[in-house]
Structure 1
Amino acid sequence: MAGILPVELILDILSWLPVTSLMRFRCVSKTWKFLISNPYLVKLHLEKSSRNPHILLMATQRYHKPCFVSRLCSLPYLIQNPAPSSCGRTLRCPKPYRYLFGSCNGLLSLRNSVSTNKYEEHWVCFWNPATKIFSRPSPRLRLNFDSYDPLYINFGFAYDDRRDSYKVVAMVLDWSRKQTSVWVYCMGHVRWRRTIMSSPFFLPCDNNGYSLNGTVNWIGFSSNESKLHVFSYDLNNDTCRCFSLPELDTKNYLFKSMGVLNGCLCVFLDIEKTIIAVFALKDVRDERSWSRLLSLSYETLIISHYFYHLQILGMLADRLLLAYSDWDAYNIIFTFNLKENKIERTRTYHNKFLTRIFSCNYVSSLISSI
């Protein structure tokens, strides 16, 4: 085949195929294995897969029990039928890992930990569910209880395009110094590296950091201010900064959730218990680029402001896929038509153990986790 068609054309054809087919073709011969391992094909395949991302739906559990309830779904299908159980496939987490905290270019980041009376240790691994390959565990990050509070360690996962590397960022509250420590683990390295000790310390509202354009971001409160801020760690130059949310006409607002939507970092706020406003940061490195993306009233959504963890799971044209939970352990996913300003489809799930449904983007890729 290589003698009939140019290699570049063969690689272009292969880049349109699903990962499952390409993994089978690797077994045909050494030539096919060499072609499918070509870095150019890996990059080209990722570019094309990224045009049609899937949603990885996950659910947390009550009482800090081990959690890995997740399912890969097509956004267009979910918009038409908001029932995760009817589409996609369930992902089974490789043991002994219990927590998934990030998705980037087809790689998922998993975490586990152990505790003693004096310290807590955390380690991670990287998993490509499409190729069914996962990495060896990282070195352990040991945090002593006399300095660190285990309740305030938060993880994020992102791609550093300048160094072509995948990194885990751990943001830790150091009580002894009243500072925030940032630890970074680069895939394949032999140790964690503490890059920053920043003051004042930062208390996040959401555990997982959201990655966008080489940054990992959390929302929460700086210790010297009562207003919400975004803590952003830049992988490109190992720096961090805190910046505020856009100015509002009222001080009566509450944080609901955070996410990445249409390539922007988005924050969902409850304003005066009347509407949900979605603000988008178009340039994650420019806090002046905040803009209001949309506003939805609780009356229009036909839900009470007492419900919590309202989140936009995805957006397709003029339709939103949203999820929220109530105190009776009901999880509701519904489609909202922005053009007609009404709810179109709703599915309700009841599980006494599940407390929150959330999502992240996922693309099937050939990226190696080793």
Structure 2
Amino acid sequence: MSSSQCSPVVPQELMVEILSRVPVKDLMRLRCISKWLNTLVFDPTFVKLHLQKSSKNTHILLTFRDYENDESRYCAAPCSLQNLLHNPSSTVDVCHRFNHDYTILGVCNGLVCLQDSYRGDEFEEYWVRFWNPSTRLMGEDSPHIRIRFGDHNYPYLFMFGFGYDDWSDRYQVVFLDNKLQKMEVRVYYLGDSCWRNTLTCDAFPALSVHGAYVCGHLNWLALPKCGPGYRWGTVTINELEIFSYDLKNEKCSYLSMPDGLSEVPPPDVPVLEVLKGCLCLSHHQGTCFVVWIMRKFGVAKSWTLLLNVSYEDLHIRVLHGLPALPVILCLSQNDDVMLLASYDSAEFILYNKKDNSIDGRELFNDDKFFFCSYDFVQSLVLPYRN
């Protein structure tokens, strides 16, 4: 019997199943072995299968602005949840620094949405492109959106958001354009040739520029009951709501804020973000740092108080007014330990809310700002149409 007859043949279906569990970095190396493997890695069906098998809630993409040599650039650092919790400084030191002044709009299924812009004398132009840190592939620029000065009178004239509609299997960027009276919603789908108008609704002052993506919806903190020219110091808590855009149905709605907030909003605007796949709201309340989390999206009663800790317990000094609002970077699997970034002291704080104790502190360079973290999964999703 020949050696070829003795060699076991692995069925192709089994080979695909095995490869769907292989890390992205290794798959990219395997592409050079055969034409079949090279084609398989970016086959849309295999990309979806690999995404389904990838570990969830174990990785984070940490982003921040780095001011180096009088030049500001965004940086991105993919890392494991455990490494970020226990070695945040080393995570920051090993990052990808963009050689262009992009703004990061969001992250979804391992795909990062980058925004670019140009400012002229009478208008501004905006466009986006997509980047996959795991495969290191970058897409092309989207069509440009031109905004003419004088057509708007609301604070935060326009807002962006990046998300994914699993029903249509489309990655999309949503652009909210606050005109004088109405707000136009436009959408760009990855690989499309234009921005599409989806709906028009009443204009409103927005308190967040980038939408927080949760469960097929993009969400912005808003003041729908306030008109143009409002002053934050006169806003009451019942005027705060969350504007939510449904990517699948192309409809908008408003979500309620948590019960138990102070009647008078704090001096600083609250921050709306995403933590472990849930909508999260953080703000000052007195001399405390307070964090709420919406356990079930869209259900007002699911708002849960996640953290209420004094700045004294965090060892953050309160001198002339409250410190800058800390940033939540990640939360442990059991929700007991969270990593915060404090700009006032330029340090990472590992806080154990179960024991009300500080488990660790690490300084970071004070030329780093605008820290943000996203749930991240290493994927093969292409940043352009296949």
TM-score by length of 2: 0.85
Selected match of 1:206 from 205, 208, 224: 208
User: Deviations along 1:275-294, whole A, 9 cap, x unmatched?
Assistant: 22221222323334322233
Equivalence for 2:327: 311
Give yes or no for the alignment of 1:324 onto 2:342: yes
Equivalence for 1:243: 255
* Alpha-carbon distance in 2 for matches of 1:65, 1:163: 40
Equivalence for 1:106: 110
Structure 1 residue 151: deviation in Å? 4.7
- Structure 1 unaligned segments of length 5 or more: list them: none
* Alpha-carbon distance in 1 for matches of 2:66, 2:158: 18
Residue type of the partner of 1:325?
Y
Give yes or no for the alignment of 1:293 onto 2:295: no
What's the secondary structure of 1:284's corresponding residue? coil
What's the secondary structure of 2:313's corresponding residue? helix
Give yes or no for the alignment of 1:74 onto 2:80: yes
Give yes or no for the alignment of 1:181 onto 2:184: yes
Structure 1 residue 196: deviation in Å? 2.4
What's the secondary structure of 1:83's corresponding residue? helix
Residue type of the partner of 1:252?
V
What's the secondary structure of 1:300's corresponding residue? coil
Higher strand proportion (structure 1 or 2): 1
Give yes or no for the alignment of 1:130 onto 2:134: yes
Whether the 8 Å CA contact 1:73–1:84 is kept in 2: the answer is no
Equivalence for 1:349: 364
- Map 1:109-120 onto structure 2 (within 5 A): 109-120=113-124
Residue type of the partner of 2:290?
A
- Structure 2 unaligned segments of length 5 or more: list them: 228-234
Whether the 8 Å CA contact 1:256–1:308 is kept in 2: the answer is no
Equivalence for 2:196: 193
- Map 1:226-237 onto structure 2 (within 5 A): 226=235, 227-237=239-249
Structure 1 residue 97: deviation in Å? 5.1
Distance 1:37-1:137 versus aligned 2 partners, 3 A rule? same
- Aligned-residue RMSD, C-alpha: 2.5
Equivalence for 2:147: 143
Distance 1:130-1:208 versus aligned 2 partners, 3 A rule? same
Structure 1 residue 234: deviation in Å? 0.7
Identity of aligned residues (%): 34
User: Deviations along 1:24-77, whole A, 9 cap, x unmatched?
Assistant: 111111121233234343223212324253222222368x97531222222212
| Aligned residue pairs, count | 359
* Alpha-carbon distance in 1 for matches of 2:8, 2:43: 17
Rg comparison, structure with higher value: 2
Selected match of 1:169 from 165, 174, 186: 174
What's the secondary structure of 1:47's corresponding residue? helix
Selected match of 1:276 from 268, 286, 289: 289
Distance 1:321-1:155 versus aligned 2 partners, 3 A rule? same
What's the secondary structure of 1:222's corresponding residue? coil
